[in-house]
């Protein structure tokens, strides 16, 4: 959240012309960026939906090709006495079983589709050692299909494909798994016979699967996995989005110059007066008035946009000793340095204020992803670094209280009170004095 947005409240009250200018900027900026985010989100959804559609078509075609081969080719070869076996390569005059035919077809297709997608057959009950479940996605997705199996009955029952977007080597990839159930009695007989082989039963035991599986028609036998990289399409979409955003920003700035040209002088004069009234002359931070004004408006914006905020209330430990021992000039130097460190330890968008004396307040708006404990630790470390003044080493610490918007309250004054109470408890802990209930 920018200071320009916060100052829009002042401009709205001070000058109608300036208010219109800033309203124009704010509205256009929101429209531009929300439109941009909407376009990006829509593009992402379309890309993912199209990737799922491609994966569905690819896997369904693969299963259809395998089924055609099984029903039209294998059955004919079997009737004519031609052996169809998994060891066809070493058997004269033999043809591959349907699962091997599918692997051969997948290899050929994967080599010649310019990297647009890949697919392969896998199974928990694999015949080929290379077709087992080899990674987290395959194990998760196959288990999901097994759960569906429990509620399906009959040959007409339909499995629902399982998919998710994974990040692989820095690229987003759609991984899609669709069931490949037993569709013919020949497949069932072949696989059931294979499951009774001693070497297969040993393999099943070694990987923790109960041996002796007996398949039925319509039952989950294997699956087809499709792998669709999204990076190439996303890169093109991102370039188009940035181009549209740049054009919209250019139009917005042109409008800003046209609307704001006649009010810029008045804006600068009154903004300067307002800022002077809101700034602490000792540290250059916001004073209590400025913090209450801009902080309240910031929370209004957070409430409207659904953002969170964190408020920190700080009090210096050992500051009185600095004043008493080294004088108020040394104390002023400590306050100025602490103010500078607080600015350096926070984001440009955060509101940092000196409320008076050695009390400071920080409001971090739009902080949905902030690790507040890490921020507080960073501030403590920054404040306790020794300060050199007039050849003397000065050192103070800080007690910090925290309150969150909207978790603890929607009101800035209430948040400050809660954080002040938490700060006092922290100070008591720092002094190793029990806090009264």
Is residue 156's pLDDT more than 50?
Answer: yes
The DSSP code for 203 is: H
Is residue 322's pLDDT more than 70?
Answer: yes
Mean pLDDT of 200-226: 85
Is residue 305's pLDDT more than 50?
Answer: yes
Q: Model confidence at 436, in pLDDT bands (50, 70, 90)?
A: very low
- Comparison of pLDDT for 140 and 2, the residue scoring more: 140
For 329-374, the pLDDT digits (tens) are 999 999 999 999 999 999 988 999 999 999 999 999 876 778 899 9
Provide the pLDDT for residue 2. 40
Element (H, E) at 224: strand 220-229
Provide the pLDDT for residue 352. 95
Mean pLDDT of 72-90: 77
| CA pair distance 11, 13, nearest whole angstrom | 5
Please determine, looking at this structure, whether the domain spanning 279-430 carries the CATH number 3.30.420.40. Answer: no
Provide the pLDDT for residue 168. 85
| CA pair distance 295, 369, nearest whole angstrom | 20
Average pLDDT score over the chain: 81
Sequence ranges of the domains in the chain = 42-234, 279-430
Q: Model confidence at 1, in pLDDT bands (50, 70, 90)?
A: very low
429 phi/psi in degrees, rounded to 5: -65, -40
Residue whose C-alpha is closest to residue 59's, from 215, 146, 181: 181
Tokens of 345: 């330890």
What is the C-alpha end-to-end distance of the chain, expressed in Å? Answer: 38
Provide the pLDDT for residue 216. 84
For 215-242, the pLDDT digits (tens) are 888 788 889 998 888 876 666 556 655 5
Residue whose C-alpha is closest to residue 411's, from 288, 253, 296, 294: 296
CB 423 within 8 A of CB 319: no
The DSSP code for 431 is: T
User: How would you label 223-261 residue by residue, b for 16+ Cβ within 10 Å and e otherwise?
Assistant: bbbbbbbbeebbeebeeebeeebeebeeebeeebeebbe
Give the predicted TM-score (pTM) of the model. Answer: 0.46
Is residue 36's pLDDT more than 70?
Answer: no
ω before 18 within 30° of 0 (cis)?
Answer: no
CA dihedral 401, 406, 412, 415 (to 10 degrees): -30
């Amino acid at each position: 959240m920018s200071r320009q947005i916060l100052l829009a409240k002042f401009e709205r009250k001070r000058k109608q012309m300036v208010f219109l200018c800033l309203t124009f900027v704010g509205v256009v900026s929101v429209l531009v960026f929300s439109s941009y985010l909407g376009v990006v989100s829509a593009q992402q959804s379309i890309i993912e939906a199209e990737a799922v559609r491609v994966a569905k078509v690819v896997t369904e075609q693969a299963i259809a090709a395998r089924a055609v081969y099984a029903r039209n080719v294998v059955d004919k070869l079997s009737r004519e006495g031609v052996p169809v076996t998994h060891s066809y390569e070493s058997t004269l005059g033999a043809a591959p079983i349907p699962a091997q035919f599918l692997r051969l077809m997948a290899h050929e297709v994967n080599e010649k589709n310019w990297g647009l997608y890949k697919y392969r057959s896998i199974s928990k009950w694999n015949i080929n050692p290379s077709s087992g479940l080899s990674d987290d996605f395959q194990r998760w997705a196959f288990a999901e299909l097994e759960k569906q199996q429990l509620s399906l009955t009959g040959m007409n029952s339909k499995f629902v494909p399982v998919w998710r977007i994974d990040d692989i080597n820095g690229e987003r990839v759609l991984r899609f798994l669709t069931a490949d159930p037993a569709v013919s009695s020949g497949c069932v007989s072949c696989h059931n016979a294979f499951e009774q082989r001693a070497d297969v039963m040993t393999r099943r035991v070694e990987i923790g699967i109960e041996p002796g599986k007996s398949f039925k028609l319509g039952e989950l036998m294997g699956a087809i996995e499709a792998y669709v990289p999204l990076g190439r399409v996303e890169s093109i979409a991102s370039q188009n989005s940035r181009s549209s955003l740049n054009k919209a920003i250019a139009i917005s700035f042109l409008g800003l110059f046209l609307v704001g040209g006649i009010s810029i002088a008045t804006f600068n004069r009154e903004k300067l007066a307002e800022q002077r009234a809101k700034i602490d002359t000792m540290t250059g931070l916001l004073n209590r008035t400025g913090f209450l004004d801009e902080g309240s408006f910031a929370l209004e914006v957070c409430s409207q946009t659904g953002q969170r905020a964190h408020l920190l209330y700080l009090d210096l430990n050992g500051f009185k000793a600095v004043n008493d021992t080294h004088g108020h000039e040394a104390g002023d130097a400590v306050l100025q340095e602490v103010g500078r460190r607080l600015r350096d330890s926070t984001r440009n968008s955060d509101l940092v204020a000196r409320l008076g004396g050695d009390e400071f307040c920080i409001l971090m708006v739009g902080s949905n992803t902030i690790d507040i404990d890490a921020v507080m630790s960073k501030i403590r470390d920054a404040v306790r670094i020794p300060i050199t003044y007039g050849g003397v080493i000065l050192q103070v610490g800080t007690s910090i209280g925290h309150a969150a918007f909207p978790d603890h309250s929607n009101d800035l004054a209430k948040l400050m009170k809660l954080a002040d109470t938490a700060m006092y408890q922290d100070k008591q802990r720092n002094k190793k004095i029990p806090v009264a209930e």
